[in-house]
């Protein structure tokens, strides 16, 4: 059985970043990246729908150690995928990836101080075992094989084509056709302007509106600094500008939501035109950042609406018809193609079963430690990025912290580290305070966070930076076990 100091599960944005940090910070340690699919890139390889792009700027979605070199801060999916693969190649991480290695179960033995992984390898799902001293899950948080589609009455009657963006087929033609996009999240708002370029008309049907914000696809400060400063310095300045702005605006939304609403609605009015009506299509029922904001680069959705090639209807779907949709209001819409941009199916720990000394780890009963480890689970971390900022900000910090922990254990002769909660008065709260449907559907299956540090799962990069990159590793909640 092949054994490693560290096994990373997932060769997407988080897993490639974790491998690069291991190369830089833990030289000489053995590690491999196990990827269930036959290609790297994770989300950015899987999603192929028209217009797929980041909904965060690339100065924070990119890695801290590798500057984003392209002019566009809001990048398309192909550019992001190339960035990930170029990063892996430059750091030699591509050679560490084991493709078509799908991890099904991981079992910890305190006697042997190691994880044993049950793996299905290749197209024939050949059973395989591998072991490691430390296990780091970077497998994302949603199912790759299926998205979420609610039950629609009469869907079998529809005579056109129905597609979910997560499983976008090759060769589909929407040129000159009538298209309906069901949904109001980031995917829907990406699809509508992209499809509207060639479709006869695109109608976005939303049950309820989402808060949107417009931002230039190219950062003006970055463009100016590129001609004045070395690339890394310019990148660092723009990155910190974006970090501080996102932290400030998130705090404003939580502490003064009415002020945040006014700012966001002013942006919507400017995008639609001064005489356009904002309600009901851009006036959500919830406060900003109770769900993720949707980013409109260069106001592309507004532009598509102003040309008449796209429109929005805020209504509920009563049923599908033979030719389209019947809404609760009685309005009927005809379509040749319906795109169900209705969300994701979340999963915990990459759907990998865990057990510690023969006892199953129930994710719903797990208590997070510093947002990446779990009470009573030794030598284990799981990367879960920010919901209110770029995923990579947290992924970088998580990988750095794992490397710090591994080096600390090596220096002091420890073979096991286990977070343990010994405080019976510690309160317990849900994993994340977001009202988005895809979070709410899965929240009961997710771990919990505590009422105090180090058991909190923060949505604050500055706080996590202090804790994960510079904070003490040897706190009262972490139990270290020395070599016998």
Fold type of domain 2-144+345-482: FAD/NAD(P)-binding domain (3.50.50)
Q: How many CB atoms lie within 10 A of CB 379?
A: 24
Q: Which token pair is 425?
A: 């008065």
Q: Select from 3.90.280.10, 3.30.160.270, 3.40.1210.10, 3.50.50.60 the CATH code of 155-217+259-340.
A: 3.50.50.60
CA-to-CA distance for 163 and 181, rounded, in angstroms?
A: 10
Confidence of residue 108 (pLDDT cuts 50, 70, 90): very high
CA-to-CA distance for 204 and 483, rounded, in angstroms?
A: 60
Q: Annotate 257-287 with DSSP letters as a single string.
A: HHHHHHHHHHHHHHHH-TTS--TTTT--SS-
**H/E element holding 386?**
none
Residue-level pLDDT at 200: 97
How much is the average pLDDT of 68-95?
A: 95
Residue range 170-197, pLDDT digits in tens: 989 999 999 999 999 999 999 999 999 9
Domain pair 2-144+345-482 / 155-217+259-340, same fold: yes
Confidence of residue 292 (pLDDT cuts 50, 70, 90): confident
Q: Is 20 exposed, middle or buried (0-12, 13-18, 19+ CB in 10 A)?
A: buried
Residue-level pLDDT at 227: 83
Residue-level pLDDT at 93: 96
Instruction: Answer for the pair 287, 261: CB distance below 8 angstroms, yes or no.
Output: yes
What's the half-sphere exposure (Cβ side, CA atoms, 13 Å) at 128? 17
pTM: 0.94
From the list 165, 157, 213, 206, the residue with the least C-alpha distance to 184 is 206
What's the half-sphere exposure (Cβ side, CA atoms, 13 Å) at 436? 25
Q: Where are the domains of the chain?
A: 2-144+345-482, 155-217+259-340
Q: Which token pair is 204?
A: 């976005």
How much is the average pLDDT of 248-267?
A: 94
For 21-35, 133-147, 181-195, 252-266, which range has the lowest pLDDT when averaged over its residues?
133-147
Percent of the chain with pLDDT over 70: 99
Residue-level pLDDT at 435: 67
Chain length of the chain: 484
**H/E element holding 131?**
strand 126-137
How much is the average pLDDT of 124-131?
A: 96
pLDDT of 267 over the 80 cut = yes
- Structure letter (DSSP) for residue 249: H
How much is the average pLDDT of 419-441?
A: 83
The 3-state DSSP composition of the chain as helix, strand, coil percent (nearest 5) reads 30, 25, 40
pLDDT of 438 over the 90 cut = no
Q: Which token pair is 430?
A: 């849900």
Count the helices and strands in the chain (H runs, E runs).
12, 25
Instruction: Answer for the pair 336, 179: CB distance below 8 angstroms, yes or no.
Output: yes
CA-to-CA distance for 134 and 30, rounded, in angstroms?
A: 11
Task: Give the range with max mean pLDDT: 17-26, 46-55, 434-443.
Answer: 17-26
How much is the average pLDDT of 97-118?
A: 97
Confidence of residue 201 (pLDDT cuts 50, 70, 90): very high
Confidence of residue 149 (pLDDT cuts 50, 70, 90): confident
pLDDT of 484 over the 70 cut = no
The more confidently predicted of residues 305 and 442 is 305
pLDDT of 442 over the 90 cut = no
pLDDT of 444 over the 90 cut = no
How much is the average pLDDT of 443-471?
A: 91
Average pLDDT, the chain: 93
Residue-level pLDDT at 459: 86
Q: Which token pair is 250?
A: 């998130």
pLDDT of 273 over the 70 cut = yes
pLDDT of 80 over the 90 cut = yes
Instruction: Answer for the pair 461, 394: CB distance below 8 angstroms, yes or no.
Output: yes
The more confidently predicted of residues 441 and 361 is 361
The more confidently predicted of residues 275 and 408 is 408
Percent of the chain with pLDDT over 90: 82
pLDDT of 369 over the 90 cut = yes
């Amino acid at each position: 059985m092949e054994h490693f100091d560290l096994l990373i599960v997932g060769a997407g944005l988080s897993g490639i970043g974790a491998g690069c940090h291991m190369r830089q910070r833990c030289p000489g340690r053995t590690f491999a990246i196990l990827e269930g699919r036959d290609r790297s890139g994770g989300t950015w390889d899987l999603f192929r729908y028209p217009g797929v792009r980041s909904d965060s700027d690339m100065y924070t979605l990119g890695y801290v150690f590798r500057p984003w070199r392209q002019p566009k801060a809001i990048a398309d999916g192909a550019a992001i995928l190339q960035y990930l693969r170029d990063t892996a190649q430059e750091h030699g991480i591509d050679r560490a990836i084991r493709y078509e290695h799908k991890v099904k179960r991981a079992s910890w033995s305190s006697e042997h101080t190691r994880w044993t992984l049950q793996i299905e390898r290749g197209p024939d799902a050949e059973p395989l075992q591998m072991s490691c001293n430390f296990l780091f899950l970077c497998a994302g948080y949603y199912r790759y094989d299926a998205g979420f589609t609610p039950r629609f009455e009469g869907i079998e009657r529809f005579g056109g084509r129905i597609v979910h963006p997560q499983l976008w087929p090759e060769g589909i033609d929407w040129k000159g056709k009538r298209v309906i996009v069901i949904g109001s999240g980031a995917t829907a708002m990406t699809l509508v302007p992209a499809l509207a370029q060639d479709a006869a008309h695109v109608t976005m049907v939303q049950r309820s509106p989402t808060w949107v914000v417009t931002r230039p696809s190219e950062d003006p400060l970055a463009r100016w600094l590129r001609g004045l400063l070395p690339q890394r310095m310019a990148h660092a300045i723009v990155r910190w500008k974006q970090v501080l702005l996102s932290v400030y605006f998130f705090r404003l939304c939580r502490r003064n939501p009415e002020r945040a609403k006014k700012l966001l609605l002013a942006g919507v009015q400017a995008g639609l035109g001064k005489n356009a009506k904002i309600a009901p299509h851009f006036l959500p029922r919830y406060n900003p950042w109770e769900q993720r904001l949707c980013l409109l680069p260069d106001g592309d959705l507004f532009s598509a609406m102003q040309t008449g090639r796209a429109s929005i209807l805020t209504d509920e779907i009563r049923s599908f018809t033979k030719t389209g949709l019947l809404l609760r209001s009685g309005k009927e819409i005809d379509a040749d193609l319906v795109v169900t941009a209705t969300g994701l199916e979340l999963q915990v720990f990459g759907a990998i079963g865990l057990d510690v000394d023969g006892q199953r780890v129930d994710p719903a009963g797990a208590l997070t430690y510093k947002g990446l480890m779990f009470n009573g689970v030794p030598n284990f971390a799981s990367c879960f990025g920010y919901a209110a900022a770029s995923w990579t900000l947290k992924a970088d910090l998580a990988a750095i912290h794992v490397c710090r922990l591994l080096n600390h254990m090596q220096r002091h002769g420890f073979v096991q580290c286990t977070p343990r909660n010994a405080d019976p008065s510690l309160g317990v709260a849900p994993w994340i305070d977001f009202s988005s449907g895809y979070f709410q559907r899965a929240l009961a299956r997710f771990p919990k966070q505590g009422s105090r540090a180090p058991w909190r799962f923060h949505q604050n990069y500055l706080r996590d930076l202090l804790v994960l990159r510079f904070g003490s590793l040897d706190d009262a909640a972490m139990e270290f076990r020395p070599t016998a």
